[in-house]
Amino acid sequence: MTTATQAPSGNCYLSYSDIENLRLSTQHSTDGGATWSGAVGSPDGTGSRDGIGPQPLVLPNGAVVVPLYDGGRLVAVRSTDGGASFSPAITIARSSFARSMTLRSAPLPSAEIGADGTITLVWPDCGARTSCNENDLVFSKSVDGLSWTPPAVIPLGLGNHVLPGIAVDSSRPGRLALAYYTDSGRKLNVGFVSSRDGGATWTRPVRLSPEAMPLKRIAQSGGAMVGDYISTSFANGRAVSIFTLAQSPLHGLLRQATYASSIAVP
């Protein structure tokens, strides 16, 4: 039996931007993915205002929290009945995003949950920059999906920082790892930082890409399109970041590939 105080075993959740119906939709499975429910939205139509980047997370008590970007703000919806229904949107923070003139990017958030039930949410925001012309990466945390800490800037230095991929180490509370892209206007780098105190302090940024990649190396579709493909996870105590880079085109053909970097984190 599934209750609000007991996390259901074998439940899977899939959240996505339902473009046809202009809403956030979530489906759930109670048999490990063999069969799935119909799509469920929230009663206020969350996701109808350019909703992107939803990521379902399950709290220790079984509640499902889905944070996402929705039309100028970061929000979350919750379910306490295994995904059968969801709450109206809960505002996490207002969002200001500086769109690049050269790189196709969006205010996509990245979220993960630790073994202690703490959710860490990271997204790009330009509110702390003069004229809001470039983005920092900021983060907020919650233990219930209802109350969230004020956004805090992650110290990454100069540049337009976008497309984050956050990881939370389930074996060591407070241990975080973050990979991200930095857009300089004509070139793109992949950076990495980590924290061992839940984001109170961060390591100095290190570059994972072997060189600054010229944007002309990647596909052009509404700007240079690296593909939004970036993620970080902990495996055997190391942070593994996945990202996309490209070499110079050969005989007119693009040479873009996905890479992995395994990093020892203090």
| 102 CB-side CA count, 13 A | 14
The DSSP-derived string for 4-66 is TTBPPTT-EEEEEEETTTTEEEEEEESSTTSS-PPPB--TT-TTTTTEE----EE-TTS-EEE
Longest dimension (CA), the chain: 60
Q: Which domains, from first to last, does the chain contain?
A: 1-95 (no CATH), 96-266 (2.120.10.10)
**5-60 confidence digits (pLDDT tens):** 445 667 999 999 998 888 999 999 999 999 999 999 999 999 887 889 999 999 99
The pLDDT of residue 8: 61
Per-residue model confidence as pLDDT tens digits over 124-183: 999 999 899 999 999 999 999 999 999 999 999 999 999 999 999 998 999 999 999 999
Residue 208: what pLDDT? 96
Q: What is the DSSP letter of 155?
A: -
Residue 9 burial by Cβ neighbours in a 10 Å radius (0-12, 13-18, 19+)? exposed
Distance CA 207, CA 199 (A): 19
**Mean of all residue pLDDT scores within the chain:** 92
Q: Give tens-digit pLDDT for 195-243.
A: 999 999 999 999 999 999 999 999 888 889 998 889 999 999 999 999 9
The contacts found for 9-14 with CB under 8 angstroms, 24 or more apart, are 11/58, 11/82, 11/83, 13/56, 13/58, 13/64, 13/66, 13/83, 14/56
pLDDT given for residue 7 in this prediction: 56
167: which strand partners?
A: 177
What is the mean pLDDT of the segment spanning 74-87? 96
